[in-house]
A = this chain, B = another copy of it.
Amino acid sequence: MSAEKLEKKKTLDLRKKHIGPSCKIFFSHDPIKIVHAKGQYMYNEKGERYLDCINNVAHVGHCHPDVVKAGAQQMEQLNTNTRFLHDNLVVYAQRLQATLPDKLSVCYFVNSGSEANDLALRLAWQYTGHKDIVTLENAYHGHVSSLIDISPYKFHQLSDYEHNQSVHVAPSPDVYRGKYRADHPDPAAAYAHEVKEIIDRVHGKGGKIAAFIAESLQSCGGQVIPPAGYFQQVAKHVREAGGVVISDEVQVGFGRVGSHFWAFQLQGEDFVPDIVTMGKPIGNGHPMSCVVTTKEVAEAFMLSGMEYFNTFGGNPVSCAIGLAVLDVIVKEDLQGNALRTGQYLTQLLEKQKEKHPLVGDIRGCGLFVGMELVKDRLKLTPATAEAQEVIYKLKEQRILLSADGPHRNVLKFKPPLCFNEEDADLVVEQIDCILTEIEAALGLNAENGSSKRKVPAAKNGHQYHSGSAHNGGRSQGLTEQSKRLKT
């Protein structure tokens, strides 16, 4: 079935009947039926084009012909498990390894970010012999039961959730809205110290730390970019306690941040996690993912005596597709495009911030950008309803964007990496119109720019976003290339 076979109403009726009602649909009052897609564009059953600003899975562009071809050719040849030798598996592992620091050299191929993060926990438990996990506020690491336990983003949705006593939640290193902000002299050290305090409390109760896990940049948590040096200092505390550091790159890896291939590399070469998990973009939509770790962790896992077998993980088709994705990223310089277009988009959005009092913060790296809407720049009152209105009105203009974060007031940009300046112009122009309308209705003065707006700029807010201060000191240890991205 390659295109529409059923009337949209029939599709919807069957969905209500046969698909779990917990599986939500975008714009549930008037959902979108998509029948094909190409690059950064998706098309509904009437052939109408939508600009996709949110799909970080279709990383090299929807239905990229090189990826499709690699998958189709390998499907014709062989698709079996890794108990047989196959070149695709080892060549792909070698290619992935080459993007990482040397010590991250051993791969486990699995089928989803959730499988990857669950395996990362198993590796950490086995290697350390410890049990306790430190995770971040608003974190999301996947949907299997072990990951709900370490995902406040999920378990806070449950009224009757029984908190796992081995899981400890540290403050999100959010220098805009979090506990320590851009006006703090050293937010990285302060946030890392919070982790240290948790470790001390765990030790006080006789527990032992197995791992600290965090997305390199929090995505569902609200496009949060930790201050530079944060992970280095956390790693020091965690390793001193005998634990390991897991960097979750499921949302943000594979060149999205522009200046680097992996988002954890934004922190500088002196930070190397013990375990890295990958997912979403890795196969451009094909169900696959990977955990990479050190030889020491892998050997400890083997010494448990338990085989690790994953039926589909690392099959020749998944590896062929993974290789094609890596090839396209290089061939089309998509990491470079993420850097350039991300910078262009961020500049456009910064201008919106100057113009619209509802815009509280613009933050991002490459094509991972957040625009946080607030009703009051001093109190940071989340403009949740307004963010939803922007999303809905953009949908009417056939632009797909979403809002996330604990208050659902952060507009999230994470488009396919072929997203271009024209696309950026289009979406920002529409956002400008929509914000103008909303602000007019609210009686906010959006006409005369920031200097005359009724709502005052927060003391810390503006400082934080101007030039290098934007990074809360993050520029230390970054390459010149990535510094350029921030300015």
Contacts and interface: CB of A to CB of B under 8 A. Distances in A.
Interface of A: 1-6, 8, 11-12, 14-15, 17-26, 31-37, 42, 55, 57-58, 62-63, 65, 67-68, 71-91, 93-94, 97, 105-108, 111-115, 118-119, 121-122, 129, 143-146, 148, 154, 157-160, 279-280, 284-288, 293, 298-299, 301-302, 304-320, 323
A18 B115 contact: no
Given A15-B89, A112-B111, A299 B21 contact: yes
B18 A105 contact: yes
Contacts of A286: 79, 287, 312, 317
A45 to B, nearest CB: 9
A89 B21 CA distance: 14
A144 B143 contact: no
Nearest to A162: B131
Contacts of A298: 20-22
Contacts of A75: 63, 67-68, 71-72
A90 B20 contact: no
Contact of A58 (B36, B80, B111): B80
A18 to B, nearest CB: 4
A84 B24 contact: no
Nearest to A402: B83
Interface centre among A25, A85, A89, A309 (most CB of B within 10 A): A85
Given A20-B302, A85-B33, A287 B312 contact: yes
Contact of A308 (B22, B36, B119, B312): B22
9 contacts: A20-B302, A22-B108, A23-B310, A32-B84, A42-B84, A68-B72, A111-B287, A144-B145, A157-B306
Given A82-B19, A301-B22, A311 B112 contact: yes
B318 A90 contact: no
B72 A71 contact: yes
Contacts of A55: 80
Contact of A85 (B12, B84, B87): B12
Given A6-B87, A19-B82, A309 B143 contact: yes
Nearest to A63: B76
A1 B312 contact: no
Contacts of A108: 19-20, 22-23
Given A80-B57, A94-B18, A154 B68 contact: no
Contacts of A20: 106-108, 293, 298, 301-302, 308
B107 A34 contact: no
Given A63-B76, A287-B313, 18 more contacts: A6-B91, A11-B90, A17-B105, A18-B90, A20-B106, A20-B301, A24-B307, A25-B84, A33-B84, A34-B85, A35-B78, A35-B86, A112-B310, A115-B115, A115-B143, A144-B145, A146-B146, A285-B317
Contact of A143 (B33, B94, B107, B310): B310
B280 A311 contact: yes
A85 B32 contact: yes
A114 to B, nearest CB: 7
Contacts of A78: 34-37, 42, 62-63
Interchain residue pairs A-B with the least CB separation, the first 7: A14-B90, A72-B72, A18-B93, A287-B312, A79-B285, A22-B308, A33-B85
Contact of A114 (B72, B87, B115): B115
